[in-house]
Every structure is written in structure tokens, then in C-alpha cells.
Structure 1
């Protein structure tokens, strides 16, 4: 099992090793031992890779060993968790497409908490939205709820910051590898959380942020959580994608109402119209979650 784990992390670190590709490879080679004997033609034909992608994948697979990649991560204080590890978050493991590998920096123990709530929202919050975060977060941390968000500008960063100020635990799920701090304005928060909280990503360190990474990242935010709280969201925003994924995963969705004249509240007001729990105080959340 230990050798399979190292091979899975090695495979996951190769370029073009998407969730779908790894799933195909594991179905074809359950021990991940035959993979190392495939030539580029095998990779193209068996797994429907383009010649260029097969070349990149083959190069990475044979440029370093599983032991070398394991040592490289250890030297950088990056701790990969595979889907079969006992420390892999149990709720996340139950979603349709849980990441095969999670890369973490920080306090591993935070991931074992059972009471995890996602807090997400617009990157351009109003002062009222920021006040809502400051009001709702501290009582949640006092009730031992760990807050997970995406380290984005605005509501996400505020949720992490207010949790830290209240002495609570918080998880940041990134849409890139650890070599790319995005957005740059959260560099100080990133560094603090890498030591005192926990950073989490399904992307190896060398992967830069891409637009399509963030909807994928959002399924992890909701997948880790028992419920999702949306504080200010425009129409068709990433926060609404997170809410949709939460519903698909069987999670509760909460929303803070806002002014009918505010663009930042159009999304949250629509969520409430569609059946999300209206939140005006922390008690609304705790009551619904049986606290």
C-alpha cells in the first residue's frame, strides 16, 4: 500500500495527469506498476492522449522516481494526502469526483475536524457584506466550527481573517499550486495560514492558476463542508457555482439577504428564493445544523 501511495503521488505530479486520466489509468493498472513500462505509443492509444501530452507525461514519469518526488515535497514542507489515506477528509471522499491527491501545507489536524462550514462570496464586497462576515464568524468559531473558503479577494479573505482573529481554525482551498500565490494581495495571509492554519490544493506546486481551476476548486470547498454560507454574490458568480455543487453533494446552503438595489446581493437573494436558508444571525445556521 505504501508503494502504491508513492506511485499515485508520482503519477499525479506529472503534467496532464487530470482526474479523468488518473481514473482511466487506475482502472487499467490497479497497482500502478505496469504504467512505468508503457511507451509513448501505449500512453496515446490506451488513454487517448495527444502526441504532445503523451510526450510530456512520459518525460515527467521517467525524469524522477516516486521516492525522489516524495523527498522533494517533504523538503518543501508540502504533505500530499491520497484518497486512501486515513487523514483524507471523510466528507470530501464521498463526492462524485474526490481528488486523488491533496497537497497540504500547515496543520494537518485541522482537516480531521468534523464541523466544517464553507463561507464564500463576492470578490468585491460592500461594507455591509464585510460587517456580515465579522458578525457571523466569531460565534461559529466559539461553537468549534472550522471555516473553509478559497483565499480569494473579498469575502473569502475576510472569512479566513475573521476566523483567525477569533482564534478559530480555517482551511484555504486554492485554485493553483503552492508556487503561485493568487491573488498576490493575499500573500501575507497565505504565509500565515501555511504555518498556523492549513492550505489545500489538488494541483501540484508548479501549476499556475487557470480560469477553469476555480469551478473545480469550488467542489472541494463544498465537499469538505457540512454546509455552505454565501455572503454577497452577483448573478452567475463563482459563489453560486459553489452553492450549486453543495446542493448536488447533499449539503445545506445558507444565504445572507441583501438590498434589492445591490448587485452584490442579486445572487444571494435568488438563492433564498430558490430555497436556501435565510441567515440574519449565527443562530439561524446553528439551529439548522442541530446545534
Structure 2
């Protein structure tokens, strides 16, 4: 029985816990054994926990046991913790890696290479589907994996291309696995969670919040050697993902389009600022060929 791991997973189910508080607690004691013995004042003074939260957390920690019902509820999920040897290697060295990931489906996909993050607008143009098919279908045949966020529009297209043509895909969702979003992708979620892989850093009972979406983007980019932006407006979550990819030392690729197209402006901005312009699948393959030795030996 791995008690430090169980303590961490149990702690993560506390409704008011934050990632920054968990990091502070782990920094104090990586096994969390001391933390579980803290008084309310210790939680306030040592972990900078607000008093109201500290009182609730102290009571919650006192109820821990390896067979606690909160842990039993998680038995059918694959769980990776930052303590685990099989923690995704591509996420180990990114800034602010997730402390815990919950998964449904093909857990072996988590370390698959080459992996390409594919992101874009929720309101794609009429050109988007054909462009995506032309660029991505040949990669499916070469055993590439696509990572995206299961959102409407470009994300959903990327997952469906991988699924339809017998490829591999990972969906990183905002909120917990018991609350897939958006509702119109429930059928896609069910398919991906059986044939592919769906992951989240939030406990399964967590409903999606607005701040979850930009947070999960760092995992999308972190699981791939490069992020491909298909269509995006100038101020969008896709550009946040591109920024996070650069911060993580990943490549950013962007597809150009008509200058009159609102959905092209974000991609053109990225290209102006150094992203690789992608006109064909060859451009993506060339990028991987130049960089793969850096990734295959991680």
C-alpha cells in the first residue's frame, strides 16, 4: 500500500483544495504524513491556508483511511500522481505540471509519440474541415496521436478524424470526468473514453468552471512536441495554448487562410511572430524529423 500516494489522492478530493495549496503542502512534506497531523493553526501558519478552509481541511484530513469512500469512488479511473513512476514523461518538466491526472480509456496513449496538439476556434469556417482532413489524415496513417480539448469546432474535428480513420487521440477536458463538456459532445466523450483516452486534472465530481479552460490548455500543449493552430481569432484560448507551448519549449505551427477571414487572424498573428507556417502535411513531418531525437530519448 502506497500511503503517500493515497494521502495525495484523498487530499485532492477536498472541495476547497487548490493546486497552489497542494504544492505548498508537498513542499513541506512530500509524504504528507506530517501534514495530516497538522493542527488548524499549523495549516494556517505553515501552509498559508485561510482560517475557514483550514478548519474544514483539518476535519477532512482527520477522517482519512486507505479505504475511505472518497477513494473507493475512484477505482474505475486510471490515476497518475506526481509521485508515480508512470507519470507522463512529457509533463514532468513543464512549468506547473498537474499534480494528479484522472483518465478513462487507453492509458497507454499518454506517452505516445509523435503527438501533435491540435487547437482552434469553436466556430470554424467552411474551409476548416477540408484543411484538417488534408493535413491530419496522412498523419493518422503514420501512427501520430492528436491531443485536443474536446471543445466544439476544431477540437471535435481533430478527435473525430483520429477516431474515424483508426488513429489515436487524447481529449483533455475542463472539469471532472463525470461532467463532460460541451453536452453536444457526450457521444464523442463516451466513444473517446472507450477507444481512446480522456483525461482531466480535476476530481471526477468537479463541474467545469471558466478558469478550468485556460488551465487545461497547458496540458494539451504539454503532451505534444508541437501545437498546431488551425483557425483562431486574435484573442482566443487557442493563442493561450500557443503561448503555453512556447513557455514549455514546444513548437508552434499555424495554418494561414484568407486575410478577410476573422478566424484566420490569430494564425496570421502567430506566423508574424515566428510560428511555422503550415501549408501541407509535409511541413509538420519535417518539423518532427528535425526534432524527434530530442523527444524520443526523454
What band does the TM-score fall into relative to the shorter chain? over 0.9
Secondary structure in structure 2 of the residue aligned to 1:92: coil
Q: 1:79 offset after TM fit, Å?
A: 1.6
**Residue equivalent to 1:163:** 162
- List per-residue Cα deviations over 1:172-212 (Å, max 9, x = no partner): 00110112121101000011111111111100012111111
Give the match for residue 6 of structure 2: 6
Q: Does 1:19 align with 2:44?
A: no
- C-alpha displacement of 1:213: 1.1
- For residues 283 and 2 of structure 1, the distance between their equivalents in structure 2, rounded to whole angstroms, comes to 46
Offset of residue 241 of structure 1: 0.4
1:238 and 2:272 are equivalent in the alignment: no
Unaligned 5+ segments in structure 2 are 291-298
User: Which aligned pairs between 1:76-115 and structure 2 lie closer than 5 A?
Assistant: 77-115=76-114
Map of 1:272 onto structure 2? 271
- Asked whether 1:43 is paired with 2:43, we answer yes
Offset at residue 151 of structure 1 (A): 0.5
Distance across 2 between alignment mates of 1:228 and 1:30? 33
SS at match of 2:174: coil
Contact 1:15 1:60 in 2 (8 A): no
* Structural RMSD (CA): 1.5
**How many angstroms does 1:63 deviate by?**
4.3
Query: What residue in structure 1 maps to residue 149 of structure 2?
Result: 150
**Which deviations, in whole Å up to 9, do the C-alpha atoms of 1:21-65 show, x marking residues without a partner?**
111111212221122222333222222222332234334334453
Give the distance between the partners of 1:236 and 1:209, measured in 2 at CA: 21
Counterpart secondary structure, 2:199: strand
Cα distance between partner residues in 2 of 1:259 and 1:39: 62
Q: Is the 8 A contact 1:87 1:111 kept in 2?
A: no
| Runs of 5+ unmatched residues, structure 1 | none
TM-score (norm 1): 0.95
Deviations 1:219-278 (CA, angstroms, capped at 9, x unpaired)? 111111100000000011000000011011111111010111111110001111111111
Alpha-carbon distance in structure 2 between the residues aligned to 1:185 and 1:277: 33
2:90–2:111 Cα contact (<8 Å) kept: no
CA distance in 1 between counterparts of 2:233 and 2:59 reads: 43
CA contact (8 A) 1:19 1:100 kept: yes
